[in-house]
Amino acid sequence: MVSEQPAFAVADPESDPRATYALEPEEVASLTARLVTSREGGSTTTTAPATGAPLASVPLATADDVHRAAAQARLAQRAWAATPVRERAKVLLRFGDLLLDGQSDVLDLIQLESGKARLHAFEEVYDLASIARHLGVRGPGYLATRREAGMVPGLTSVRVHHRPAGLVGVITPWNYPLNLPIGDSIAALLAGNAVLLKPDTQTVLSALWGAEQLEAAGLPAGVLQVVAGDGAVGAAVVDAVDHVAFTGSTATGRVVAAAAARNLTSSTLELGGKNALYVAEDVDVETAAEGAVRACFAGAGQVCVSVERIYVHHAVADEFTLAFVRRIKALRLGGGLDYTNDVGSITTQAQLEKIVTHFDDAVAKGARVLVGGVHRTDLGPLFFEPTVLADVSTDAECAREETFGPLVALYRVGSDDEAVAAINDSDMGLNVSLWTASERRGRAIADRVRAGIVNINEGYAAAWSAYGAPVGGWGASGLGARHGREGVLATTLTQTVAAQRLAHRGLGLRRFYELPGEQTATIFTGVLRALRAARMP
């Protein structure tokens, strides 16, 4: 997939430090051929964040292309929905194997498109393979028909079915170019849906590679359709589908939710987070500091569940700060396509500008820089050092707004109560990380914080990787959840079928209905009292 030239020509000071691996044109053409597009849509050229060099020419779709893709997907969905769920599950299991086998190629692709460090790219591969395995094994059980009791036990048979919604629209951002678009897609596919996928254009090749592997694993052609384009294309996707799974900013999520609501289309939204981490006074400081580094700077802080606020009990604040800053200074920043570096590049120019704006604003309002704060143009156009600020003013932009980058504010608190109050002082409620030597204490604090995800003695991976458990945000951080039973059933329609036994023979409830009203009421009152006495639901 890539040529053999080195990522950076750093040995010769006079050579171009932005020389990088180049994608093979044939490979790009093969992947982009999967896009549903037309001449009217034109194209755009993406660039490698780590170098600024041109990466790929991506054909773009129009609204008409979206509707054409939706029609093709709906035709293919009929046969896919009729395929037994365990056969659909086998496709996901085979996909997981192909993902692991081909990880070398896709790791290069993820890094080239997103700029992230290779270890963080591998986290995408590992996570997606794990999700595929979980859905392949547990998914059929999530979708199984269940029985419920009827009004009169023995006479009424009730079954609850989960039917595919039909066509699911998946719209995802650039920060997890493989995991998010394909992870949300396979949950919908398992349920018997077709998928109309719109990944971010900057990282569309990684998503297309995933789509290629799904077809190689046995997904019928046409069931997964991929389009690329701007907000108008995204709006067309929302209008064309029966359920929307959207990941992105809160502002855009509100627009998506409103558009879906106009069509009475259901939606699952994972939106922004101003995620907090609390360090209690009973912790092992070195362990907590190590965990905080991962929680803050994985993916260069461009992770929905990344920590941007740290609250440290004053009893360990000095010690924690020293350990935290020491570890950050030791992080290796760079863009090589190997495991050498700990933190990679920011992905887009717009995101870098937001990070720099938040940093400059905080410093202008009195914040102290404990570490970082440098735009490293010597490494590439979009590198920004992992940064920690203290004494951040309450009116600083980064105090309340999501930065979505390697910029963290550090605060001191005097108690669990003060920490909880500070954590909850936000309209966002996605992820909270709690560090304490007492699990009981951690769970007690978790009961009081307003967030859909809480990790005790971990940054975010513990909850995220519990694939049977739902993960999602509260408040301005979203609606619904991905993962687990809830994530799969979100893409289905619930159907209850109740059969009245023996009614065709003149038995069942008909004779009760023929009784005088007062006698009917007396009999059914007795039935209810008997059910209550027997503790029957």
Q: What CA–CA distance (Å, rounded) separates 8 from 110?
A: 17
What does the alpha-carbon distance between residue 58 and residue 62 come to, in Å, rounded to a whole number?
A: 13
304 a catalytic residue: yes
Q: Are strands 156-164 and 492-500 parallel, antiparallel or unpaired?
A: antiparallel
Q: Give dist(CA 187, CA 190) in Å, integer.
A: 5
CB 169 within 8 A of CB 196: yes
Q: Is 270 a catalytic residue?
A: yes
Alpha carbon distance 275, 309 (integer Å): 6
Contacts by 508-513, CB closer than 8 A, 24 or more apart: 508/155, 509/152, 509/155
Active-site option among 270, 308, 385, 402 = 270
How many Cα atoms sit within 13 Å of 300 on the Cβ side? Answer: 32
279, amino acid identity: V
| 494 C-beta neighbours (distance < 10 Å), count | 9
Query: What does the H/E/C string look like for 462-515?
Result: HHHCCCCCCECCEECCEECCECHHHHHHCCEEEEEEEEECCHHHCCCCHHHHHC
For 59, the token pair is 């054909």
- Helices (H) then strands (E): counts for the chain: 19, 20
Question: φ and ψ at 276, to 5 degrees?
Answer: -120, 150
Which residue out of 304, 308, 385, 402 is catalytically annotated?
A: 304
The enclosing H or E element of 159 equals strand 156-164
Distances (CA, A) of 141 to 188, 213, 231: 15, 25, 37
* Of 69, 44, 47, the residue nearest 58 (C-alpha): 44
**SS3 of 305-319:** CCEEEEEEECCCHHH
Is residue 274 a contact partner of residue 441, using CB atoms and an 8 Å limit? no
Strand ranges, E, within 287-441:
307-313, 368-371, 387-390, 407-413, 428-429, 431-435
Residues in CB range of 457: below 8 A, 6 or more apart: 287, 291, 434, 435, 436, 439, 442
Q: Could you give the residue numbers annotated as active site?
A: 270, 304
